[in-house]
Amino acid sequence: MIRMVKIFLSSSLCFYLLFGVSQSVLAAKVTLDSSSWGLEEGKACVDCHAKSSSGLTHQWKNSAHAQANVNCLDCHQAYEDDADSMEHEGSIIATIVSPKDCGRCHETELKQQQGSVHTKAVDIIKNRMPALAEHFGSLSINDAGCAKCHGSEVKVKGDGTLDSTTWPNSGIGRINPDGSKGSCSACHGRHQFSKAQAREPAACTFCHSGPDSPDKAVYETSKHGMMYEAHKSEMNMGSDSWVAGKDYSAAPTCVSCHMGAAGKMKSTHDVGMRDSWNLNEGVSTQQYLVIFEDGEKRELSTSDPVPRRGESINKMDGSMGKVKAVAFPKRRRGAMTKVCLECHSKNFAKNAMLQFDNVVELYNEKYGKPAQAIMQALYSENLLTPLPFDEPLEITYWKLWHSGGTRARHGAAMASPSNTWEGMAEVGSLFYGKFLTQVREVAGAEKAEKLIKQHINGSEHHEWLNNPNKANPILGYGKGSTNEN
Ligand code: HEC
Ligand code: HEC
Ligand code: HEC
Ligand code: HEC
Ligand code: HEC
Ligand code: HEC
Ligand code: HEC
Ligand code: HEC
């Protein structure tokens, strides 16, 4: 009972802590005092670079930074003992301007960004699927493909210049020479670093497209994408204040829902905060977000025990950390729904979320869980080698949960009927048309029938296979039907 009270307290306290609800929706302003920038030696950089790289200098001249007198050296300055520092025309500079460097002036954004899922994007490859890069591709695919979105671990050569296999790179979880993670220019293209440009869907779909995250296709085929396309000019993208329903109302962009301000809820640079599910795994589970005292974060499935405030548990990297707060899936969903309510009714938003959750549950129960259980049984009985992707069944399974399963779940999350159906159609056709056949090949007829019986037969979802005459709740056909499909 006492534990429950504590959980409740920590969950309501954390709402204020995490979602930044406050009377003021204006984001915190620049943290460094203006007398500490506008470095005198920085003026020479502009003069010379106006000739040697005029495009870049022009971009800077059109930026909020130039207007506020923040010059090249204010960002590119470095100390001699920085790993990537170099002597350049009489100044010590570094080419990389890391989140930590931007954070000297933009502490609020840095704090929100550090610890967010975006900063884990390099680790996620290492932790979850290095084989994908290595077996399907090679190092060069990693450098020019995966790492362009996920980020590279930037290596510095002896003279302070950057290793060509790891830079240029502005991947979202890039590991910088100063140890900080991410790249602010992943979304804020340089050298304008504009907030209007980062509010565009294209700032996200540069990475959020394709099999890992089909959100470009999803958004474009949602009603939101349709309305955005038609009413772009009414979106007020350049406004200092950009609160949904107040400063714009034509349509939400990716940023509105995942980062943007709504009502009294502030905007955030932690894009994962408002997501309650993990939609990119073999089986989706609802997720707690654990915040550690040092700002690090970690997601835990609701099947794991809930950590208490003050307790020490493992962080993502394996080291121990003290828990500061825990955001429950319901709270995270609540924050996301706050955005919807600026343009829709409560019932509308609730029902839309229910339709989404139902698709995730359907995917889990009908395909995700049985397929995962069968794969696990085959591995534990050594009928599959532990080496990933060397057997056709492993590739089929990956396409099932990843390509099709991700598309269906993202489609339902963001109201794209075409992607919801296309994704589920891919899952279904792979499951019945290929997965089960390959399970029989791998396990032999007898063993396969036993596994299939254990995990599929008896489930209402697959009853149509064994009992075709049973009335179908969707189409209403059944005994005596002349359905020809
Ligand atoms: C007298 C001209 C001149 C001045 C002054 C100058 N630069 Fe440069 N800088 C250049 C040229 C030319 C290059 C390109 C060199 C090359 O192509 O390798 C360059 C390259 C760079 C690079 C890229 C290095 C790389 O690894 O790609 C950065 C960053 C840079 N300058 C920043 C600055 C800053 C900051 C200042 C002011 C402290 C400055 N520059 C002052 C001429 C200048
Ligand atoms: C607001 C901070 C900021 C300011 C101001 C700034 N830069 Fe940069 N600059 C960056 C960032 C961020 C990068 C990307 C490096 C990376 O990958 O982290 C960059 C990259 C560069 C590069 C190498 C990339 C390329 O495209 O060649 C050069 C050269 C450069 N800056 C020169 C300048 C010059 C010259 C000025 C002034 C006219 C300037 N910068 C002003 C942040 C800044
Ligand atoms: C176009 C950008 C892009 C490229 C290229 C890319 N990814 Fe991703 N990847 C993403 C995004 C975005 C997500 C996040 C998906 C989500 O959470 O919805 C992701 C997620 C993942 C995940 C976690 C869950 C999942 O979907 O499997 C892994 C593992 C992963 N990527 C590995 C790789 C590897 C390995 C490569 C190269 C072979 C690669 N990615 C190439 C953008 C990319
Ligand atoms: C995932 C994309 C993304 C990344 C990465 C990102 N930003 Fe932003 N940033 C945005 C968007 C979108 C906005 C506008 C948010 C809004 O209006 O709700 C913004 C706004 C800002 C603003 C203006 C805030 C204001 O209220 O005027 C600053 C300053 C800023 N970002 C700094 C940073 C810094 C520093 C980093 C790196 C630590 C960073 N951003 C990384 C997307 C991003
Ligand atoms: C030396 C201080 C300083 C540094 C370092 C710095 N900025 Fe800024 N930044 C400012 C100031 C000052 C403004 C203007 C604030 C205003 O207009 O209210 C600004 C404005 C911005 C904006 C809002 C632009 C708009 O469209 O209104 C963004 C985005 C931004 N910075 C991102 C960055 C990023 C990313 C970095 C690192 C690459 C960075 N800043 C480094 C001081 C800095
Ligand atoms: C440079 C590539 C890149 C850009 C740009 C980018 N993302 Fe991501 N994003 C990723 C990758 C990679 C992941 C997966 C990271 C992980 O799981 O650790 C991800 C994960 C996410 C997630 C999943 C969070 C969760 O709960 O798992 C959301 C939501 C998201 N991004 C939203 C956005 C939005 C909104 C924008 C634009 C403002 C954006 N991203 C821009 C690469 C990018
Ligand atoms: C109308 C609001 C809305 C818009 C617009 C929107 N999203 Fe989403 N997004 C959601 C919701 C709701 C979820 C599911 C949240 C959950 O798990 O509870 C989601 C899920 C995601 C995920 C998967 C996170 C996970 O849990 O694995 C990613 C990645 C993502 N969105 C990126 C984007 C990108 C990129 C865009 C723009 C192209 C975009 N979203 C547009 C509401 C939106
Ligand atoms: C900035 C305003 C805005 C926000 C915020 C917003 N929407 Fe919408 N939404 C719209 C508009 C406009 C339409 C198109 C209405 C129409 O059918 O004409 C729409 C349509 C929809 C539709 C399709 C309805 C249908 O009739 O087919 C769904 C579902 C939906 N929104 C869900 C959501 C959810 C869930 C959220 C929050 C995660 C959300 N919306 C946030 C403006 C918004």
- For the CA of 110, the closest atom of ligand 4 is 38
Residue 344 CA to ligand 8 center (angstroms) comes to: 7
Identify the three-state secondary structure at position 92: strand
Q: What is the pLDDT of residue 52?
A: 95
Q: Which two tokens stand for residue 365?
A: 């129960």
pLDDT at 140: 85
pLDDT confidence of residue 472? 66
Instruction: Please report the pLDDT score of residue 397 as a whole number.
Output: 97
pLDDT at 186: 98
- Give the pLDDT of residue 53: 96
Cα of 452 from ligand 2 centre, angstroms: 58
Given a cut of 70, whether residue 480 has pLDDT beyond it is: no
Ligand sitting nearest the alpha carbon of 286:
7
Nearest CA to ligand 3 atom 15: 213
Q: Rounded mean pLDDT of the chain? A: 91
Q: What is the pLDDT of residue 17?
A: 56
Give the ligand with the smallest distance to the CA of 169: 2
Whether 38 lines ligand 3, by a CB cut-off of 6 Å, is no
Residues 193, 112 contacting (CB under 8 angstroms): no
Note whether 425 and 359 are within 8 A (CB). no
C-alpha–C-alpha distance, residues 239 and 251, integer Å: 16
Whether 257 contacts 339, CB under 8 Å: yes
Q: Ligand 2 pocket check: which of 82, 97, 185 to mutate, most ligand atoms within 8 Å of Cβ?
A: 97
Quick check: CB of 49 below 6 Å from ligand 1?
yes
Cβ atoms of residues 297 and 113 within 8 Å:
no
**From the CB of 153, is ligand 3 less than 6 Å away?**
no
Q: Is residue 408 within 8 Å of 359, Cβ to Cβ?
A: yes
* Joined tokens for residue 465: 């296979």
Cα 158 to chain centroid distance, Å, stands at 35
Ligand closest in space to the Cα of 173: 6
CA of 193 to the centre of ligand 2 (A): 10
What is the longest distance spanned by two Cα atoms in the chain? Answer: 89
Counting residues of the chain whose pLDDT is more than 90, the rounded percentage is 79
| Residue with CA at minimum distance from ligand 8 atom 17 | 223
Q: Is the pLDDT of residue 410 over 50?
A: yes
Measured between alpha carbons, how far is 196 from 186 in angstroms, rounded to an integer? Answer: 14
pLDDT (0 to 100) of residue 7? 38
* CA of 45, closest atom in ligand 2: 35
Residue-wise pLDDT for 28-77, tens only, equals 478 888 888 999 999 999 999 999 999 999 999 999 999 999 999 999 99
pLDDT score recorded for residue 132: 75
- Give whole-number Cα distances, 376 to 61, 310, 381, 391, 406, in Å: 58, 36, 9, 14, 20
Q: Domain boundaries in the chain?
A: 346-466
| Global model pTM greater than 0.85 | yes
CA of 30 to the centre of ligand 5 (A): 7
Measured distance CA(483)–CA(473) in Å, rounded = 14
**Per-residue pLDDT tens digits for 153-207:** 999 998 889 999 999 999 999 999 999 999 999 999 999 999 999 999 999 999 9
Ligand 4: which atom is nearest the Cα of residue 259? Answer: 18
- In order of 316, 411, 436, 438, 448, the CA distances from 443 in angstroms are 36, 34, 10, 8, 5
Task: State pLDDT tens for residues 109-153.
Answer: 999 999 999 999 998 988 777 777 778 888 888 888 999 999 999
pLDDT for 477: 53
66-105 pLDDT, tens digit per residue, is 999 999 999 999 999 999 999 999 999 999 999 999 999 9
Nearest ligand for residue 76 CA:
1
More confident of the two residues 345 and 211: 345
Is 23 in a helix, a strand, or coil? coil
CA distances from 138 to 121, 131, 143, 332 (A): 19, 10, 9, 38
Which pLDDT does position 473 carry in this prediction? 64
Mean pLDDT (whole number) for 471-476: 62
Taking the CB of residue 381, how many other CB atoms lie within 10 A of it?
11
Interval 272-311: pLDDT, tens: 999 999 999 999 999 999 999 999 999 999 999 999 999 9
Q: Residue 277: which of 126, 129, 420, 413 has the closest Cα?
A: 413
Q: How far is the C-alpha of 363 from the C-alpha of 369, rounded, in Å?
A: 8
